[in-house]
Amino acid sequence: MSCRYLSLVFSLALLHGQPPYDLVIAGGRVMDPESRLDAPRHIGIRNGKIAAISAQPLAGKVTLAAAGRVVAPGFIDLHSHGHTNEANEYQAHDGVTTALELEVGVPNVGAWLKQRAGRAILNHGATASHGASRTVALREFAAEAPGWIDSPDSWRELMMKGRYKSMSSPEEFTVLGATLERGLREGGLGVGMAHQYYPGATREEIFRVFQMARRWKTPVYTHVRSMGADAMQEVIANAAATGVPLHIVHVNSMSLGELPLVLDLIESANQRGIDITTEAYPYTAASTFLETTMFDEGWQQRLGISYDGLQWVKTGERLTEKTFQEYRKEGGAVIMHFMKPEWIARAMASPFVIVASDGMPFAPGAHPRSAGTFARVLGRYVREQKVLSLMDALGKMTLLPARRLEPMAPAMKNKGRLRIGADADITVFDPASVIDTATFEKGLSFSTGIDHVLVNGVPVVRDGKTVPNVFPGQAVVGNYGKR
């Protein structure tokens, strides 16, 4: 669309006394999973909100060209451990506009939100952390919990102390409840429960936390107790018994070969009105810290791999029995190559499995999911392998995660959609070339084919380049105590 034409549109608008929009995204293929709109449109943005979606050209103070591009709602990542602006930059280049820490949660929601206020590139939010709260209840951690788990060290400090200890006294449950409730009052989006990392949590403790969540009318987001359908059935039973909305994280890595069974379990529970959602990332390897309980006795049998199936993130080397012992003492991130490509394809093809990265941009290397998850789905699973349609893929990255959060955060009704009045969180990409570039050897690398990414109407990526020194990210907070 020539400049001369755009200036004509601009002057015509002024002639008719219409103030130009703050920004216009011109001539793209607008795809909105909620309305199923899929047509060439121009989008006008004013005050951070979508103000117009028009078949006619619009006048804007700034115009971003989108001819031949798809214009979609910004991607919402329910499962991200990267909450620094360095991490946000990789996520933004992967089309993400909202990155949330729901699985593990944060120990001190209020301090964490304060820390990020006005300084964040992406929208952000977190759950109240069951793992950190039980550490406090077990008197394993007395000090005022810091805002954020931003390194393996604080992980070790907060998530792993007391991991083999079980709750026994009513006082401990009272402190646990009070600590979690405080997190919700400070804006937590639910309870984050990753009890595979603290096997001391008995079935009773887990059920009691579900009962607390019912009282607080808040969801539970969980990394279940162990791999396979058993652990899934524990939390599905608790959700059925309490009516608590449940979100099961990374169903791909926690189901192993039982993925079809687990997806059937979730689907039939949904058909009976039990509110359960789940997610997956498009990689055949997982990642966590070598010092965690994941690698306690019997890990080879559980994962079905041995030392050479483990890749040390710092160096990229595959482990041996000797280096396993050495690095486990030292502690640090490891990549675990144990999943089959057909499991991932099955999860990506499922209409209700949400796309979420589980990004952990801690180490210099890091698992490529931190930077490439969303472009990988669009490039490899939609375009190359045709496992799912473009519209369905976009729905699993935008509308479904937004809907998952709405009961606790009504503000999410304005995200994950392209409609008048919605937040202008928008991702513009080239469906013919969008692809991930991050690999297991080089985990932090920008995806390509993502042209423009807007957060609340502010470009954070423009023409494929980072827009420096802009921090339009806002907190997504829960409405506990405000209902």
Choice between 223 and 225, CB closer to Zn ion: 223
Cβ at position 287, least distance to Zn ion in Å: 9
For residues 419 and 30, give the distance between their C-alpha atoms in angstroms, rounded to a whole number. 11
Is residue 346 involved in binding Zn ion (CB under 5 A)?
no
Six token digits for residue 349: 């093809």
Choice between 161 and 369, CB closer to Zn ion: 369
From the list 409, 452, 392, the residue with the least C-alpha distance to 428 is 452
For residues 451 and 430, give the distance between their C-alpha atoms in angstroms, rounded to a whole number. 7
Contact flags string 437-476 toward Zn ion, x per CB under 5 A: ----------------------------------------
Cβ at position 134, least distance to Zn ion in Å: 17
129-138 burial, b at 16+ Cβ within 10 Å, e below that, comes to bbbbbbbbbb
Residue at shortest CB range from Zn ion: 223
Choice between 77 and 172, CB closer to Zn ion: 77
**DSSP reduced 3-state for 372:** helix
Choice between 50 and 159, CB closer to Zn ion: 159
Cβ at position 388, least distance to Zn ion in Å: 24
Choice between 336 and 377, CB closer to Zn ion: 336
Choice between 124 and 223, CB closer to Zn ion: 223
Six token digits for residue 379: 């490039």
The residues with which 252 forms a beta bridge, in sequence order, are none
Distance (Å) of CA 303 to CA 230, 255, 297, 298, 307: 15, 11, 12, 9, 11
- Of residues 243 through 282, those in contact with Zn ion by CB under 5 A are none
From the list 239, 167, 238, 237, the residue with the least C-alpha distance to 205 is 167
Distance (Å) of CA 250 to CA 137, 278, 311, 344, 451: 28, 7, 19, 11, 28
Cβ at position 337, least distance to Zn ion in Å: 16
Q: Is the dihedral of CA 289, 294, 295, 301 positive or negative?
A: negative
Cβ at position 249, least distance to Zn ion in Å: 6
**DSSP reduced 3-state for 13:** helix
Cβ at position 332, least distance to Zn ion in Å: 17
Cβ atoms of 52 and 420 closer than 8 Å: yes
Cβ at position 266, least distance to Zn ion in Å: 17
Cβ at position 451, least distance to Zn ion in Å: 32
Choice between 20 and 125, CB closer to Zn ion: 125
Contact flags string 192-231 toward Zn ion, x per CB under 5 A: -------------------------------x--------
User: What number of chain residues touch Zn ion (CB under 5 A)?
Assistant: 1
Strands (E), 359-446: 426-429
Choice between 98 and 288, CB closer to Zn ion: 288
Contact flags string 312-331 toward Zn ion, x per CB under 5 A: --------------------
**What is the DSSP pairing of strand 123-129 with strand 191-193?**
parallel
Residues that bind Zn ion (CB under 5 A): 223
